[in-house]
Amino acid sequence: MPTISKKGNNIPPSPIRKLVPFADQAKKKGVEILHLNIGQPDIKSPVESLDAIRNIDLDLLKYEYSQGSYDFRNNLCSYYSGHNIYIKPDDIITTVGASEALSFTMNSICDPGDEVIIPEPFYANYNGFAQASDVKVIPITSKIEDNFSLPSIESFEDKINIKTKAIIICNPCNPTGYVYSKDEIIKIAKLAKKHDLFIVVDEVYREFIYTNLKHFSILEDERFYDHAILIDSTSKRYSLCGARIGFIVSKNSEFIETCLKFALTRLSPPTLALIAANEALNSDKNYIKNVITEYSNRRKVLITELSKLQDIKYSDPMGAFYSIIKLPVKDAEEFAKFLLTDFSVDNESVMVSPASGFYSSKDNGHDEIRIAFVLNSDKLKRAINIINLGLKEFTS
């Protein structure tokens, strides 16, 4: 019998999707599942994007350039200029979602055995990307009691050694909803520059901010151009998750040239998806404004409903559309399964993500879940009520 690679066996299953078989079984029994496990917006994509696909008039669906079409990258430059980020099309590599952007990045800056420092909890697939690249994640744990704010700079510096290649952060943060301030970003960037490391910032949720704090991008400060790598995507901003269009942005030309080698090996991003993404950039300027207003309302509903629950703690999301909830149970994954296999209210139940998969430290997150407030307010209220009633029935 041929053997599977250790690397393949060691890649962790996604906590966001690992309970899908249990949800499918519940659906077969006629139970409606309210999905709080995945960051899939239910808001309609821009009509401009959908019309571009519906009305396409092509005789040949050809390969696109490996780095993405020039028109799309040039359009992105205009988008970024509105956020005080001034780049050229050659500073961009278009990828198959932010996932491929992160994979290209890790493979371009790290060799097997190298290390990256990431404040945890973090987007669960960072663990998978690192494992696939033979890179070791060095976690710095943030605390729910501090709303998962940035740990001390000293705690980062203590972990830096000869194998360290980068510090990676997500701003706003998936899964906590924390938004790093300009001061926090600058401190981390200065540390990266001091030790000649890359600073990789996942800014997929840039517009999703619900406080008076203004988002600050790593590429707004030219002092860090040689060290900064920005990861971005159209998926959440324009409800185009299925298009799978992301991008890497950097002023470090050697890094971009290396990423392009990886882009060349997979030939090109999907042409139809690029057309949809390009039209999204040209869509009605009120589109994003209305999306953020809707999510801001959902956040208020979420916090109101969570505040009614006893014996829990939760992160107050400043941005993105996620919250970590600390439950009065020993095993949140078993509770998540219980909701799908043994519990419902009026023939409805809820799917959540066990939060242990959003940590690299093995002992963290086992009593926590992540929820995505991507459902409308009525469904959110019902979902939190189901969780509340489920906790009263569940014996950990």
Let me know whether 134 and 240 are in one domain. Answer: yes
Mean pLDDT value across residues 159-171: 98
- Which pTM value belongs to this model? 0.96
Partners of 116 in the beta sheet? 137, 166
What pLDDT is attached to residue 12?
78
Is beta strand 228-233 parallel, antiparallel or unpaired with respect to 245-249?
A: antiparallel
Using the predicted structure, report yes or no on whether residue 396 has a pLDDT greater than 70. no
DSSP 12: P
2-6, 48-52, 221-225, 367-371: least confident range: 2-6
Distances (CA, A) of 148 to 141, 203, 316: 9, 17, 9
Cβ neighbours of 268 (radius 10 Å): 18
Asked if the structure places residue 24 within a domain, the reply is: yes
Using the predicted structure, report yes or no on whether residue 106 has a pLDDT greater than 80. yes
Using the predicted structure, report yes or no on whether residue 16 has a pLDDT greater than 90. no
Which of 281, 309, 328 is where one domain is finished?
281
Let me know whether 101 and 196 are in one domain. Answer: yes
Which of 281, 305, 335 is where one domain is finished?
281
Asked if the structure places residue 312 within a domain, the reply is: yes
When pLDDT is cut at 50, 70 and 90, the band that residue 226 belongs to is very high
Asked if the structure places residue 35 within a domain, the reply is: yes
Q: Over pLDDT 90: what percentage of the chain?
A: 93
Is beta strand 32-35 parallel, antiparallel or unpaired with respect to 348-351?
A: parallel
Report the number of secondary-structure helices (H) and strands (E) in the chain: 13, 13
Let me know whether 195 and 82 are in one domain. Answer: yes
Q: Over pLDDT 70: what percentage of the chain?
A: 100
1-10, 98-107, 176-185, 284-293: least confident range: 1-10
Which of 251, 281, 311 is where one domain is finished?
281
d(CA 385, CA 393): 13
Let me know whether 304 and 274 are in one domain. Answer: no
Q: Which amino acid is at 135?
A: V
Cβ neighbours of 335 (radius 10 Å): 23
Let me know whether 227 and 319 are in one domain. Answer: no
When pLDDT is cut at 50, 70 and 90, the band that residue 9 belongs to is confident
Let me know whether 300 and 356 are in one domain. Answer: yes
Is beta strand 322-326 parallel, antiparallel or unpaired with respect to 313-314?
A: antiparallel
When pLDDT is cut at 50, 70 and 90, the band that residue 14 belongs to is confident
Identify the residue whose tokens are 């290390």. 115
Using the predicted structure, report yes or no on whether residue 15 has a pLDDT greater than 80. no
d(CA 339, CA 32): 12
Range of the domain at 218: 47-281
Mean pLDDT value across residues 78-96: 97
Closest Cα to residue 74, out of 63, 90, 85, 98?
A: 90
Let me know whether 299 and 256 are in one domain. Answer: no
Contact between 94 and 72 (Cβ < 8 Å): yes
What pLDDT is attached to residue 247?
97
Asked if the structure places residue 208 within a domain, the reply is: yes
What pLDDT is attached to residue 291?
96
Instruction: For residue 190, give both structure tokens.
Output: 């200065």
When pLDDT is cut at 50, 70 and 90, the band that residue 181 belongs to is very high
When pLDDT is cut at 50, 70 and 90, the band that residue 357 belongs to is very high
Using the predicted structure, report yes or no on whether residue 174 has a pLDDT greater than 70. yes
E-strand ranges in 89-217 read 92-96, 115-120, 136-141, 164-170, 198-202
pLDDT in tens, 309-348: 999 999 999 999 999 999 999 999 999 999 999 999 999 9
Q: How many domains does the chain have?
A: 2
Mean pLDDT of all residues in the chain? 95
Asked if the structure places residue 1 within a domain, the reply is: no
Using the predicted structure, report yes or no on whether residue 80 has a pLDDT greater than 90. yes
pLDDT in tens, 254-272: 999 999 999 999 999 999 9
